[in-house]
Structure 1
Amino acid sequence: MSVMNKRVSDLLESDFLSFVTRVYNNDYDTEEQHIDAVLEFKALSEHPSGSDLIFYPEPGKSGPTAVVEEVKAWRAANGKPGFKVV
């Protein structure tokens, strides 16, 4: 599933985790695609730390699952919509 031009509320948490995992592992054919994905992560998450959550995580908060949990917690604490629920 592509996350480009979507909102967090359009995505299942599992889809967002898959996306974050790809960004985290740089699973893209070109550097440009990876940069676009990083920028999309920043726009989707709206987290003030942006891509630092992935590339410069706080101790004990590294890895895709920790990133998704941090985004989810921050969005809830700041009145932002959460992931799509089915």
Structure 2
Amino acid sequence: MERISLQDFTEQEFINFAHKILLAEFETTEGLMKAVTEFVLLSGHPAGTDLILYPQDFNITTPQSMVDVIKSWRGQHGLPCFRDDYHAIAL
């Protein structure tokens, strides 16, 4: 995927990316690990891989709820989110 920032994604694209990671839909373990690393770097969330590996700690049950945790944290810290997050753009 290799995008530079979270703002390069629409929210739905990032949800799809998270879903692919959660289902481990990659041809190799290396591909999965690269995607996980990219996810962590793009999200910027301090929990890092725990969002994926220990989702129960964040009440994460779906890719959407994972993205909701990231959006909430980024909003609380004044960080931009997705390309189609018009509320953040208006601030």
TM-score by length of 2: 0.85
- SS of 1:81's equivalent in the other structure is coil
Q: Which one has the largest radius of gyration?
A: 2
CA contact (8 A) 1:61 1:67 kept: yes
Does residue 48 of structure 2 align to residue 50 of structure 1? yes
Matches for 1:1-86 after TM superposition, within 5 Å:
2=1, 4-57=2-55, 58=57, 60-85=59-84
Spell out structure 1 runs of 4+ moving beyond 3 A: none
Structure 2, unaligned stretches of length 5 or more? 87-91
Deviation of the 1:6 alpha carbon: 2.3
Superposition RMSD in Å: 1.4
Distance of aligned partners of 1:78 and 1:55 in 2 relative to their CA distance in 1, 3 Å threshold: same
TM-score by length of 1: 0.89
- Quick one: distance in 2 between partners of 1:41 and 1:59? 16
